[in-house]
Every structure is written in C-alpha cells, then in structure tokens.
Chains A and B, each alone.
Chain A
Amino acid sequence: MSVTSKSTIETKPRRASPGRWWMKPGHGSVSWLELALLVACIALVVAPVPHSYQDVINITLLWGGVALSWNIAGGYAGLISFGHAAFFGIGAYTSTILLVNYGVSPWLGLWLGGIFAAAFGITLALIGARLRGPFFILSTLAAAEVVRIGALNWTSLTGGAEGLWITPTKSIANMVFASRSAYVALVLGYAIIVYLVSKAIERSRYGLVLFAVRDDEDAASAAGVNPLTARTGAMGLSAFLTAIGGSLFAQYFQFLDPTYVISPELSFQFALLAALGGLGTAIGPALGAIVIMPLSELLRSYLGAAFQGLHLAIYGGFLVFVMLYLPGGIASALERSTGRSKETP
C-alpha cells in the first residue's frame, strides 16, 4: 500500500491551479506557450532546412509523440512501463510486414498495428492488475523482452536479426515520400494528435478517474471507480498511439531490427523523455522531447567523435540531477522560474 500511495510525483490539481498566464490554458483554449511551440514546429516543417537537421526535427517530433503516448499510461494512470518499445515494435513490424509481404498500404497497416499493440497492452495491464510499484515496472520489462526475443527468433516473419527493409518505391499510397518535409509534416501531425488526445484526457472525467487511480487506488475504488477498467483503458490507448509512432518510424527509416526497435534502451528512452519533461501533464513530455532531443543530437555531433559516450554520460548525470532536485521535470522548473514575478493575485 505504501508503495502506491507514494508512487506519484505530486501534480497540481488541474482546474484550480494558479498557473502562469503563459502556460495556463484559458477556458478550454490553448496557452501561449503551446501556441508558440506549434508555430515554431510548423515553421520548421515549412522552412528549407538542411537534411541533417530535418532528421533531428523528425526524430524530436516522433519521440515527442511517443513520450506523450507513454505519458498516458505512465503519467496519467501511474502505470510506469519500461516495455513500451514492445508496442512501438509491434506497430512498426505490423505495418512493415503488411507492406513488404502483402502490399497493404501502411495507411491501413498502422491502424492494424495499433490494434495489435492495444490488445497486447490490455493483456499486459490485466497480467499486472494486482502489481504495484516496482513489480509492475519489472513485468513490463519482462513482457517486452518476450516480444523482442520472439521477434528475433521468428525469422520467417520478421527477418530475425537481419531485420526488414522497405524498398523505397515512392508513392503516397506506400507512405514513401520523395521529400523529407512530407515525413516531417506527417510526424508533426502525429505529435499534434497525440497532444490533443492527452489534453482531452486531462480535461475529461476519464482523466480524473485515471488521476484518482494513480494517486490512491484503494480510495478510488472505494469511491466507486473501477481501477481495472481505468488501467486497461489507459494502457490500451497508450499502446495504440505508441504503435502508430512505430509505423511512422518504420516508414521514415525504412529499416527495422528487433535489437533496436524493441530494445529495453528504447523503452527507457520513451519513459525518460516524459519524466525529464514532467510526468502527468501534456506539456511535460512535449517539452522533454523538444529540449532533450536536439540538445543530445547537438552534444553527440560535437563530442561523439572525440569522446565516445560522453554525451550520454552527460545525459545520465543530468537525469539524476533533474529527478532528485526537480522531480516535476522541465515543465515545473519553467513554471517555477518565471512564475513568481508574473503571478496574478
């Protein structure tokens, strides 16, 4: 019991919070910060940026979308998962196998991948229905390992360790575009949709149910909330959205192998971006990806050649620091640092 009641980072009550004017959504509208981020992202998609930067923008937006999807389970419902790479991989492999072997368009395949992943996510939530705290985390890690080893050994379907290639025959139906801008626009669309879904959950009754289950499962169920439906729903939706991100990843990089796409490291990455940005809010994971991804790419390009591993060591140290001293992540730090002077009485 004590594990659950301690299990969440303190999050402010949503509606009554004395937020900052530039982060605080008005009545059902978007905040200035969100609007500015949106304009900046659209500008980056439209502007003629060099290819290498477009890769960075693309991966930032994609990882942002996946971190937001992770946040639906991990941040809202308190189901900390270190196995989301399994959902990502299921999405990526489903759409790619359908495209390569059966000629099914990824525009259809991504939905199917999402449904498979959602089914798997719901199963996982049911398996872990009784598990709390670290036990749930470890079970997601183990489940993802089962998927990874399965994909590695089911060679006839997944190509095993050699991976799967999408041969680029450019057509919109195959979701293989001539220009990178088209991919970036697509991924931006994905990120925006996941963001809007997150916002919608935050404001809905269902969101309140999730927060209640996260903060105190026993109290929530005493108040008439069914924790099981809340948990399965959040995990299913989170898995579904993550899998769509996986399909988009496959279409952009046109190569898949289980050792990367379903690796525990990737699962950690999704969780860490959300945690660094700020769990349990929509803006948190988005900020996490927007701040961390370009920075880490930048560090890698400057330090990667001379000191192998240094940029990730910095990342690890930063993570330790943020978690210990700013457990609300970048979002809460921003709010705190600029908030004081601008607080309206």
Chain B
Amino acid sequence: MTTFGQLVFSGLLIGCIYALMSMGLTLIFGVLRIVNFAHGEFLMIAMYGAWAVTAFLGLNPYVAIVAVVPAMALFGVVVHQVVISPGVDKPHLVLVFATMGLSILMQNVALMFFSADLFDVPPMFDGQSVIIGPFFFKAELLLGFMIAVFCTISLRWTINSTYLGKAIRATVQDSEAAMLMGVPVPRIFMIAFASGSALVGLAACVMMPLFSVFPTVGLNFVLIAFVIVVLGGLGSIEGALLGGMCIGIVQSVSSYYIAPAYGQLFFFVLFLLVMIFRPEGLLGRKGESTVGIN
C-alpha cells in the first residue's frame, strides 16, 4: 500500500510539472485558437537557455528563471509578430503547417549549435529527498509541484481579477465584439502568445534539474502536453492541471506495475478514449470550437 501511495504521489508531482509545461499550450489555444506545433521546441530552447545560464554563469537553474522567462516572453513576441500574426486570419491549416515548419527550423538550429549531445545540470539538493509521513519525494519534484500550483493560481487570478484578464476573456468570447468595445485584440493575442512562451520558459527551468536536454527533446514532451491539454479540455487552465495529474499518476503506476514502455501506451490509449467519449475534455465546455478560457 505504501508503494502504491508513493507511486500515486510521485506521479502527482511529476504530473503537475507536466501540467506547467502544457499550460502555455492551452493558454495559446484558448485565446488564439491555434495549436502551436512548435511548443516542444519552445521548451527545448528554454531548457538550453536554463542549461547555459547554469553552466556558464554557475547559477542555480531556479535562479535562471529570472533570465529565461523574460527571454522566452521576448522570443514569443518575435515569433508572434513574424509567424503567427500573418497567419492568424487564414485557414487554420496555414498555422498548423507554419508552426510545424518552425519546429523543424528550431530543432535543427539547436542541432547546429549544440550537436546531438545530451546536456544536464548538476543535481541541486545533493540528491536529497523530502520525507513526508511514510513517503519520500525528490526535492526538485516538490519544488516544481509548488511552482506549478502557484502558477495555476496566479494565472487564474490574472484572468479573473485584472483588467487585462477581462480583456482576454472578452477576446475569447467574441473577438469582433471585443474589438468594437476597444479591446486591442491583436495586442491581446501577442500578450497571450508571449505569456504562453514565458510559461514554457518557467517550465523549462523547473524541468532542467530533472531531465537532460537535446535537440529533439521537445517531441517527447509535446506529445505528453497534447494529451494533457486535450484530456483536461483544450483551453482550460485547471483542466491542464487535472490532466497533468492524471497522466502523471497513470505513467508512474503503470510503469511500476507493468513496464515503463507501456506507461506511454496507456496514456495515448487514455487520450483516444477521451476523444471518443468526451472530446471536449474533462473540464472543457461542450462543443469543441467554443472551448476557451472561462
């Protein structure tokens, strides 16, 4: 029973970190209604950024947050202006393939600069675990969990209780009406895209002590992120957290009791089942095209 509890709680923690990584994707979808197929590559370059700050400046990866997050927000602005904004009024296929092209571009630029080698940062807390009751937790996981929960709460607060949040909600509900009411919709899109990228930057700093980085690392994580956001309801922030927790638990329990390789199989099957029976996701609204942040 202790083993099972341990697996569930560890899965929960790692799931929250996955959720943090997916939150940018769901935010961007919720506001701009596009799936960013380069999301994994955003994570990859942010992880390289966190690694570079740690390796060259000798800083802690958690301190790297102050450098990586603004840098990723800026990167998000640039990508939005160059790639997303020209395509946002066109058929959605255009941006599907354009972001796909962007992901190929970023992957291979990373390959040119960093080669295919794996980079990682030295362990943070001398591999120490935090002991709560009968359970042991890696300190990095616990810290990541806290950051993820904090992020969800502050994102929710921003959307519910600030003027910017109100403008975002208006844009999600009806971008034309919002524009008529004086909401600068293109700027809201840019802010949403930049915030999504900044969230990826934050996730990368949290993940760097746990995972190695290499040019194609994004693909593994983006598939998990897709599963999480669809499971939770594409566009829903709490949904992403819930979806992340489910995936984390499924992965950790099935890896232990069956085989690590099947852990992945299970969550893709779970994903397909959700698609068949509840395509709007756990917390999404009915009718896929109306899914948004609410």
Contact = CB atoms under 8 A, between A and B. Distances in A.
A131 interface: yes
Contacts of B271: 138-139, 142
B146 interface: no
Nearest to A329: B97
Given A312-B107, A316-B104, A323-B94, 10 more contacts: A1-B289, A3-B288, A131-B279, A149-B268, A268-B104, A275-B93, A312-B111, A319-B97, A319-B105, A323-B101
B83 A313 contact: no
A146 B272 contact: yes
A143 B94 CA distance: 23
Nearest to A318: B101
Interface string A302-330: 00000111111101111110111101000
A272 B101 CA distance: 9
Interface stretch (A5-13, A187-195, A197-205): A5-13
Nearest to B270: A142
Given A7-B92, A9-B94, A152-B261, A309 B109 contact: yes
Interface of A: 1-4, 6-10, 80, 127-128, 130-135, 137-139, 141-143, 145-146, 149-150, 152-153, 264-265, 268, 271-272, 275, 279, 307-313, 315-320, 322-325, 327
A310 B108 contact: yes
Interface residues of B, number: 52
B289 A133 contact: yes
Given A149-B265, A317-B105, A308 B112 contact: yes
A312 B230 contact: no
B223 A145 contact: yes
30 contacts: A3-B92, A7-B91, A8-B91, A131-B279, A133-B92, A134-B234, A138-B230, A139-B272, A141-B223, A142-B223, A143-B268, A145-B223, A149-B268, A153-B261, A272-B101, A309-B112, A311-B108, A312-B107, A312-B108, A312-B111, A313-B108, A313-B112, A315-B104, A319-B98, A319-B100, A323-B94, A324-B83, A324-B87, A325-B86, A327-B94
B289 A320 contact: no
Contacts of B97: 271-272, 275, 319, 323
Interface of A is mostly: helix
B33 to A, nearest CB: 7
Contacts of A4: 289
B227 interface: yes
Contacts of B112: 307-310, 313
A193 B157 CA distance: 58
B128 interface: no
B83 A320 contact: yes
Nearest to A6: B91
Contact of A135 (B259, B261, B288): B288
B219 A264 contact: yes
Contacts of A311: 108
B90 interface: yes
B244 to A, nearest CB: 16
A128 B261 contact: no
Contact of B105 (A141, A152, A272, A313): A313
A59 B262 CA distance: 33
Contacts of A135: 230, 234, 275, 279, 288
B23 to A, nearest CB: 17
Given A127-B276, A134-B234, A143-B272, A9 B83 contact: no
A315 B271 CA distance: 31
Contact of A319 (B104, B106, B111): B104
A330 to B, nearest CB: 13
B96 A134 contact: yes
B195 interface: no
A150 to B, nearest CB: 7
Contact of A145 (B101, B104, B262, B264): B264
Interface string B35-63: 10000000000000000000000000000
Contacts of A316: 101-108
Contacts of B98: 319-320, 323-324
A210 B87 CA distance: 25
Best-surrounded residue of B87, B97, B272, B275 (most CB of chain A within 10 A): B97
B129 interface: no
A121 B289 CA distance: 24
B93 A320 contact: no
3 closest Cβ pairs, A-B complex: A319-B101, A316-B105, A316-B104
Contacts of A145: 223, 264, 268
B167 to A, nearest CB: 21
